[in-house]
Structures are given as structure tokens and as C-alpha cells.
Amino acid sequence: MAREEKGPGGWPKPGGDRQIDIEVGPKAGKRRLIIDLAWPSLAENVLASFVSMVDMIMVSSLGAYAINAVGLVTQPRFVMLAAFMALSIGSTAMVARFKGARDPENASLILNQSLLMTFGLTALLCVCMAFGGEPLVRLLAGRNISEQTIAASLSYLNIQIIGFPTLSFTFCINAVLRGVGNTRASFYTNGASNLVNVFFNYCLIGGNLGFPKLGVAGASIATVIGQCTALCIAVFTVARGREFVQFRVKQLRRVDWSVIRRILNIGLPALVEQLVMRIGMMLFTIIVTGLGDGPYAAHMVAMNIQQLSFMTGMSFGTAATTLVGQSLGRVRADLARIYVRMTQHIGIVVSFVVAFLLFFGGEWVARLYSDDPAIIKLAADMLKIVAVVNPISNARFVYISALRGAGDSRFAALITFVGMLLVRPALSWVLVTEMLPIQIGLAGVWIALSSDGVVCFALSWARFARGKWQSIRV
């Protein structure tokens, strides 16, 4: 069972990072530990999904063009985040090992060197996107998206670029805290961020409570204000001195290249994975936008709702990353296997519940986004497709996260390459274009999306079963 350490010497005090004893004995104790790690991440992801849904619903009041405008910015924004997602994977895995080895000094070194890397990467990416954002948006829009939509997208994107540093530093700190087992910190920071975001959406999109009516640009400003809130909470969490990791001035003053190389050893394959994922998603977006404004609006509504379908996999994947890393830090690969198996069992049960809700409740939720019967019906049908394979698709997140926790990020990148650059775009193209005698339109895109999840599950399960991850050094 989880226990709390008190006193000086780098060990947290009550209210901070709860020291997790991964060798908790009986199965019931292990199950409680998995849930203790997963529920804050699950609550955070579900809250983020609901807020994203509310965000889109608020924006949809401006018209279908506004839904599409926000959708077009999603991929450039995630391109910027790709480097930090990769960095976080390396930081989380290494900090988890040091936590398992009871080494707070080196765990803190990872935190501070990660912050230095985040600073440099943020400056570079903001400059690149400031010059390359518009060409990228226009490439994604293709020929069938209106100029009004593109103009609104660029307005949204430019504000996101200005506020991006607040997001990248929060991402870095939360990744390190997940490595030591403090998944609640991310829940608190992002929960507060999302609530602030919704409040300012209300104020700035429609011009309520005396605020100016800024439309799509107001939604972007609200997002940045929420990100600022999250960063303040994340910094406070570490700075108060109750965590296993600490800010160390001497570690922030200079770059430790040996540490950075160790982080990049795990992070670079993950960066390739993220870039492959973003390229795949952009190809995916180009195919969908080719269907026109109406189908693309339905696609974005369905994508926004279906976030709930993979939140369980991502949340239990967070627990798997932490527990595998800490188990290997104790030289207990057998314990890592037990935790992954139990995490899968719990996650699949929750996935079936979510799949049921999506299958039978998708049309009702879609009505919140639009009053166009065609958009509502099309979005609901797409949700039925993804709901059918949801438990299997979610299980891949646990296996892939477990491999990352062990430092096997190269194979995780390979899995993503196969799914995002081979299976999904190729199958989408075949099913959407005129290669088949019967045209199924948007449904073909979503069949391809679901097939990607099944293929990635099979590959990740086979890799984990072989056990090579047990001997990887980080």
C-alpha cells in the first residue's frame, strides 16, 4: 500500500509526493496502488475531454467554420508539443528508475536539466511556427475549406504560439512528477487550467460579463490564460519543497550533457514517434478536408467526443509507465509484469463501459454541437465505429506505455510508424477515394482509424510478451 515518508533529507512530507512502495504484497494491495496512480490521470483526462467538448460547443455557436478553424490548428499545435512529449517520456522513465533506487539527488538533476532543455526547445519551436504556421494551415486546409475558416485558424494559432511557453514548462514539470508517482499534481494543474479556460471562453467568445466579443480568437486567449494558471500551480508544487524532486539552482546554471544524452537516448525515438504521429495525422486531416466543410465538421465533432474513448487507456498507461520504471529500478522485472497484467484487466473493464456509452449515446451528445441533422447523424455513426474496437484499441496504450517506462521507446516509435504512416493513411485513401466500387466517404476514414488501433495493439502485445524490455539500460 502507498505510504508517506516524513522528514528532511529529500524525502517528501505529508501533502506532497506520496512515497509508493511498489512491493505491496497481496493482489488487492497492488490493485489499490494501480488505481491510486491511474485515477488522478483518468480524472484529469476526462475533465480535459469534457472541457474540450465544452470548448468546442461554445465555439460552434459561431458556426461550422469555427469548428473547422479550431480543428485545423490542432495538428500544428501538436507538432509543437511533439518534442516535449518525447522529452517527457525520457524524463518520466529516468525519474521513475531513480525513485525506485531511492536516489532523490539524481531525480532532481533530471528535473532541472529537463527544464533547461525545455527552455531551448520552446524558443526554437516558437520561432519556427511563427514563420511556418500559415503555410502549414493552408496545406491542411486543401482546396475545399473556406477562406473564412483559414483566417480564423491563423488568428487562433498566432495566439497559441505566444502562450506556448506556459504549456511546455508545465508539461515538463508534470512529466517528472509522474515519474515519482505523483499523478495528482497533473490532475490539479490541468483541472484548474481547464476550469479557468471554460470561464474565459464564456467571457471572450461571446462577449459576456463586460468582456469584448472576440470569437475564435477569444477561445485561444482563454486557453492561454488557463495554461498560465497551470504553470503557476506546477511551479508551486515543486518549489514548496515537499516533493521527491527539487529545484536546484546549481543544476539550472549549467548544462549537464551526460544527463541530457541519457534523456535523449529514450526521448529521441519518442520524438521520432511523435513526429511520425503528427505527419500521419496531417495526412489524415488532408484526406478528411478533401470531403468538404460538412463532413469535416462532423469529423471534428466525432473526434472531439471520442477523446473519452481512449482516456482510460492513456490513464492506465500512465500507471504502467510509473510502475514498470520503478519496478526495474528495484531490479524486479517480475513485479513489472504483474503490474502490467493487472493494469490491463482494470483498464479493459472501464473501456467496455465507455464504449457502451459512446455507441448508444453518441447522437445525443453530438446534438450539443450542431443543429444540422446531417452533421449529427454522421458524427454519431463514426462514434459507433470507434466504440466497437475501443477495449482493444485502449489496451495498446498500456503496453506501449509499459515499454516506454522500461526505456524501450524505439519500438514504441516503430509501432506508431506502422499505424500512423502505413495503416491509417493508406487505408483511408483506399476507402475514401474512387478505388472501390462503393464509396463510403467519412466512414472509411474512421474504419482506418480503428484498424490502426487494432494493429498497434497486436504489435505492442507481442513486443511486451517477448520480454526484451527487461534488460534495457537507461
Mean pLDDT of 155-169: 89
- Looking at mean pLDDT, say which of 222-236, 319-333, 361-375, 412-426 comes out highest: 222-236
Average pLDDT, the chain: 79
307 alpha carbon, distance to own chain's centre: 10
231 — pLDDT class (breaks 50, 70, 90): very high
Q: What is the mean pLDDT of residues 365-375?
A: 82
- Would the pLDDT of 229 be above 90? yes
The average pLDDT across 91-110 equals 83
Q: Are 3 and 21 in contact (CB under 8 A)?
A: yes
For 287-300, write each residue's pLDDT tens digit. 777 777 778 788 88
Average the pLDDT over 397-420 and give the result. 83
Return the closest-CA partner of residue 409 out of 91, 70, 176, 65.
Answer: 91
Q: What is the pLDDT of residues 250-271, one digit of tens each?
A: 777 788 888 888 888 777 777 7
Quick one: how far is CA 162 from the chain centroid?
21
Domain ranges of the chain: 27-468
Interatomic CA distance for residues 403 and 345, integer angstroms: 17
In this predicted structure, the answer to whether residue 275 has a pLDDT above a threshold of 50 is yes
Q: Is residue 228 predicted with pLDDT exceeding 90?
A: yes
pLDDT band, very low/low/confident/very high, at 405 (cuts 50, 70, 90): confident
Q: What are the φ and ψ backbone dihedral angles of 331, each rounded to 5 degrees?
A: 60, 50
| Average pLDDT for 158-183 | 87
pLDDT band at 281 (very low <50, low <70, confident <90, very high): confident
pLDDT value at residue 96: 82
CA dihedral sign, ordered 150, 152, 158, 163: negative
Decide if 94 contacts 266 (C-beta within 8 A): yes
- Tens of pLDDT, residues 6-63: 333 333 333 334 444 455 555 666 777 777 777 676 776 666 666 666 777 777 777 7
Mean pLDDT, range 132-145, rounded to an integer: 76
Question: Residue 415 pLDDT more than 70?
Answer: yes
* Mean pLDDT, residues 406-427: 81
Is the confidence at residue 154, as pLDDT, over 90? no
Q: Is the pLDDT of residue 4 over 60?
A: no
> What is the per-residue pLDDT for 15?
34
Q: What is the pLDDT of residues 302-346, one digit of tens each?
A: 887 777 777 777 888 888 888 888 888 778 888 888 888 888 888
The pLDDT of residue 177 is above 80: yes
Q: What is the pLDDT of residue 48?
A: 63
461 vs 194: which has the higher pLDDT: 461
Q: How far is CA 344 from CA 2, 314, 350, in A?
A: 20, 11, 10
